[in-house]
Structure 1
Amino acid sequence: MRELIATGGRIAARIAGGAIALVLPPRCPGCGAVTPDDHGFCRDCWQSLDFLGDDGCARCGVALPFAPPGTICAGCMVDPPALDGVRAAVSYGPVARHVVMRLKHGGRPGHARTIGLLMERLIEQEADAILVPVPLHRWRIWRRGYNQSALIAGVLARRRGLTLAVDMLERRRATPILRGLGRNARARAVRGAFAANPRRVAELKGRRVLLVDDVHTTGATANACARALKRAGAAEVRLISWARVDLARVDLALGDATGDVDK
């Protein structure tokens, strides 16, 4: 009898799912076109995504064409960042921008799953790491309703079975809008803005941390987070993000990219 009820429930769920798909079919998160699957891109948007590999600096991720794996750029040799590594799923182009802007400012928290599915390949070898999202100040969470980086980190944690520490980092003060600021000015703006949660620092001792963010620009925010985590005892902090802005090639058609990705 129980098996019959369970089977009937599964059939009913499939019928209901099919009916919903007819009324509300899955749509491309990049352009809104109808697609066969949830969180799937249409062909044109998929082809326009610029997926990034491992051919960048081993510390900051800046592109180093033809360099062998593990190469460190001259900038990181002269002034090593707090981050031990940086990886992004895609380059910050029109489709990547649209998806993340809808997540952050368009009331589309479901886009966190879309992003998380494509970021999953970045953590295939990270079975023992702690996932820590870049925190937002409470005023921005109240306005937005959620921290987009925490939503993405939650998707990754569930899919890979990793430990998620949403409250491991605290944003102690609001930082000014970073739009238009250069690298050094951004670093000054976020200095001292982050600290490890004193109730959770014991969990950090000697651990590897994967810092999760939506967009990586100059690295000022992520490096400030990494310094706070290492002061609290983390052995290594690496950043993974949805998109990376190539500051040398930002297209004005994207708008002020440095403003788009302000936290």
Structure 2
Amino acid sequence: MPPTPTVIGGPEPAGFGSCRSCAFFETGSIALCYSCANDKMRPPPEHRCDVCDQALTNPVAVCSNALCSSTDRAFVWNASIALKSGELEQMIWRVKKGRWAWGTVFSRVILGFLYDNMEEIDGVDAIIPMPALLPAGADPRTDHARFAIEQAMEQDERGLPFVVDPPLLIKTRATDKMRNTSSAADRRAVSDQLFESLVVPDAERVRGREIMVYDDVFTSGSTLNAVARRLKAAGAAAVYGLTLARQTWR
């Protein structure tokens, strides 16, 4: 990416992570905010898995994420915009703590990435948020993925195939949290729970289509895999993932 564009005759951007105090927080362009974010975000490594963006020791190394080579994998690949670290990690944490306005910035980052990588969505028929089930009376912005996609739809300048309402996929009941798992067996169990909780309301809107699912963080891919399994069971031709941040494995 080129350096952050200079704003002639006006203030400079405050810098990614200081967005709330930035003069362009409400009015910043997609190009300006994405370029500013790229000054601070860590991109996925040069040598990485073609499926999950996990770092590899060399170009021909086998990914340590077992799902990538499993016959149970239902998604094609996941594209991560950046690694979950630094300012981006802090901003994701703030959103999860209820500071929803960061979702507007995230939407510009999502759009900027897609505009710069249009080959990632070549043939994609729909870009949807990871489905969530909110408690009764919850602020709808608590659904972080949906809120970011809604904001992206409002700011999109190229007619990207975002779909929110009516949803292609819904979650019908609560499931255990993937972040609380500590083993591959635990992740499979929670993934199965999630699969059983998901419903495609209208299979005709899914059948034969290629669908991209957006989420804020990708770790092992177990959540995305459950969603892909359900969509493909309803007839989807292919499922891809798009995430703001790739969790680095330690």
Into which bin does the TM-score normalised by the smaller protein fall? 0.7 to 0.9
Report whether the alignment pairs 1:61 with 2:61: no
Root-mean-square deviation (CA, aligned residues, Å) is 3.3
- Report the counterpart of residue 83 of structure 2 in structure 1: 91
Deviation readout 1:201-242 (Å, 9 max, x if unpaired): 201111111100011122111111111111111111110010
Number of equivalences: 221
Distance change >3 Å, CA 175–CA 72, structure 1 → 2: same
**Residue from 104, 109, 125 that aligns with 1:113:** 104
Greater Cα offset, 235-244 or 168-177? 168-177
Q: Which has the higher contact order (CA 8 A, sep 6+)?
A: 2
Give the TM-score normalised by structure 2. 0.73
Larger Rg: 1
* Paired residues of 1:90 and 1:244 also in contact (CA < 8 A): yes
Distance 2:208 2:46 in 1: 26
Structure 1 stretches of 4+ moved >6 Å? none
Runs of 5+ unmatched residues, structure 2: 1-9
Distance change >3 Å, CA 35–CA 165, structure 1 → 2: closer
Distance change >3 Å, CA 240–CA 72, structure 1 → 2: farther
* Paired residues of 1:31 and 1:45 also in contact (CA < 8 A): no
Distance 1:141 1:152 in 2: 20
Distance 1:62 1:80 in 2: 18
User: Displacement, 1:192?
Assistant: 3.9
Distance 1:72 1:80 in 2: 17
**Residue from 197, 200, 204 that aligns with 1:197:** 200
5 Å-filtered alignment, 1:178-193, equals: 178-182=178-182, 183-193=184-194
Distance 2:39 2:63 in 1: 29
Deviation readout 1:144-174 (Å, 9 max, x if unpaired): 6442111222344434412333211111211
Distance 1:147 1:165 in 2: 15
Distance 2:43 2:157 in 1: 20
Distance 2:59 2:81 in 1: 19
Distance change >3 Å, CA 190–CA 205, structure 1 → 2: same
Distance 1:150 1:212 in 2: 9
Letter in 1 for 2:148: I
Runs of 5+ unmatched residues, structure 1: 1-20, 249-263
Q: What is the aligned-residue identity percentage?
A: 21
Give the TM-score normalised by structure 1. 0.70
Q: 2:217 aligns to what SS in structure 1?
A: strand
**Residue from 118, 123, 131 that aligns with 1:124:** 118
Distance 2:237 2:136 in 1: 30
Distance 1:246 1:173 in 2: 29
User: Displacement, 1:65?
Assistant: 4.7
- Report the counterpart of residue 163 of structure 1 in structure 2: 161
Distance 2:88 2:190 in 1: 26
- Report the counterpart of residue 154 of structure 1 in structure 2: 150
Letter in 2 for 1:132: I
Letter in 2 for 1:168: L
**Residue from 206, 209, 222 that aligns with 1:207:** 209
**Residue from 17, 21, 31 that aligns with 1:30:** 17
Distance 1:241 1:186 in 2: 19
Deviation readout 1:2-26 (Å, 9 max, x if unpaired): xxxxxxxxxxxxxxxxxxx99xx97
Distance 2:73 2:110 in 1: 23
